[in-house]
Amino acid sequence: MTTTPIADRTTAVAARATDLSKIYGQGETQVVALDRVSVAFRQAEFTAIMGPSGSGKSTLMHCVAGLDTFSSGSVRIGDTELGSLKDKQLTKLRRDKIGFIFQAFNLLPTLTALENITLPMDIAGRKPDQQWLDTVIRMVGLADRLSHRPSQLSGGQQQRVAVARALAAKPDIIFGDEPTGNLDSRSGAEVLGFLRNSVRELQQTVVMVTHDPVAAAYADRVVFLADGRIVDEVYGPTADSVLDRMKQFDAKGRTS
């Protein structure tokens, strides 16, 4: 359990991007994917990043999560500046500080559910914190499925394994890339429920990229991206309010 005082929790920042730019190509064919984006993800907060296709929402997440390099600006996870890190250090950072949930579940078919959950600790050569592990497993309701292989689990169950994997290592921050994209609405709702619970009950920090307003409504805060820039921000969103915002962008996009 984290021992961060409650007072600090609202102000402490888990990850922060400052003037972050990502430019592909050069000269005529230059494409600006991120244009001086500054954003902070506070601890124990559930943030959704939204935006139309090509808005740069995935790129933003990849850069902040240390999966991709950026052209200029700075990214900090906790106190660590990512821009100066070599691949090896970045990998270590991802291993120890970051959790991931992918759209395509990305479990190893050769490992059991439990082995998949403890994989990040296995990689680090650490023993999992058994008490914490039990808490996580209980939360996602996988206690009776631990010895199953991914191929014996439904899509929803697989994604719950992935959520447990992300939580099990007690990362500073969890990034989700369309975590409900491959799930039916019921399973999706379950997974989102777990993520929200992990923030509420376990003080986990979660950042999720999505294009689904219903999914975004589970977050504490929604950041809207368009053309590589942050264009809006909503706290305490509902599916309807998010959908309205989206429609506005679409209309703007059409008229401009």
Partner 1 sequence: MFRTALRNVLAHKARLLMTVLAVMLGVAFVSGTLVFTNTISDAYQNSSAKGFDQVDVAVGAKYQEDKGDTLGKTPDLTRALLDQSAAVPGAASAIGVVNGFTAIADKDDKLIGGGFQSQGGNYWGDKDPRYPLKSGSAPHGKGEVAIDSETARRAGYKVGDTVRLSVDGPVLNPKISGIFTTDDGNVAAGGSLALFDTATAQKLFGKPGTYDEIDVKAKAGTSQSELKAALDEALPKGLTVATTGKELADDQARAIASSMSGLRQGLLVFAGIALFVGTFIIANTFTMLVAQRTKELALLRAVGASRRQVTRSVLIEAFVVGTAAGVTGLVAGVGIGAGLRSLMGTLGATVPDGPLVITPSTVAAALAVGIVITMLAAWLPGRRAAKIPPVAAMSSVHAQATTRSLVLRNTIGALFSAAGVAVVLAATTMSGSDGQAPMGLGAVLLIIGVFILTPLLSRPLIAATAPALRAFGVSGKLARQNSVRNPRRTAATASALMIGLTLITGMTVMAGSLQKSIDKMASAAVRADYVVSMANGNELSADVGEKLAATKGVTATSPLRNAPSRIDGETEYLTGVNGAAIGRLTDLKVDNGTFEVGGDKVVVDANTAKTHGWKAGSAFTVGFEDGKKQRLTVAGVYEGNELIRGIMLDLTTLAPHQKAADAADMQVMVKTSDGASGAAKDRLEKALGDNPAIKVQSKQDLSDDIAKMFTLMLNMLYGLLAMAVIVAVLGVINTLAMSVFERSQEIGMLRAIGLDRTGIKRMVRLESLVISLFGGVLGIGLGVFFGWAAGELIGTKMPTYELVLPWARMTVFLLLAATVGILAALWPARRAARLNMLTAIKSE
Q: Which is nearer to partner 1, 10 or 154 (CB)?
A: 154
> Minimum distance between the CB of residue 91 and partner 1, rounded to whole angstroms?
4
**Nearer to partner 1 among residue 115 and residue 227 (C-beta):** 115
Least spacing, CB of residue 105 vs partner 1, in Å: 9
**Which residues contact partner 1 by CB under 8 A?**
62, 65, 67-68, 87-88, 91-92, 94-96, 98-100, 102-104, 106, 108-111, 119-120, 122-125, 165, 177, 181-182
CB of 120 to partner 1, least distance (A): 5
Nearest Cα residue to 43 out of 207, 233, 193: 207
Shortest Å distance, C-beta 150 to partner 1:
11
Burial classification of residue 199, based on how many CB atoms lie within 10 Å of its CB (0-12 exposed, 13-18 middle, 19 or more buried): buried
Instruction: Give 89 or 248: the residue with its C-beta nearer to partner 1.
Output: 89
Nearer of residues 182 and 241 to partner 1, judged by Cβ: 182
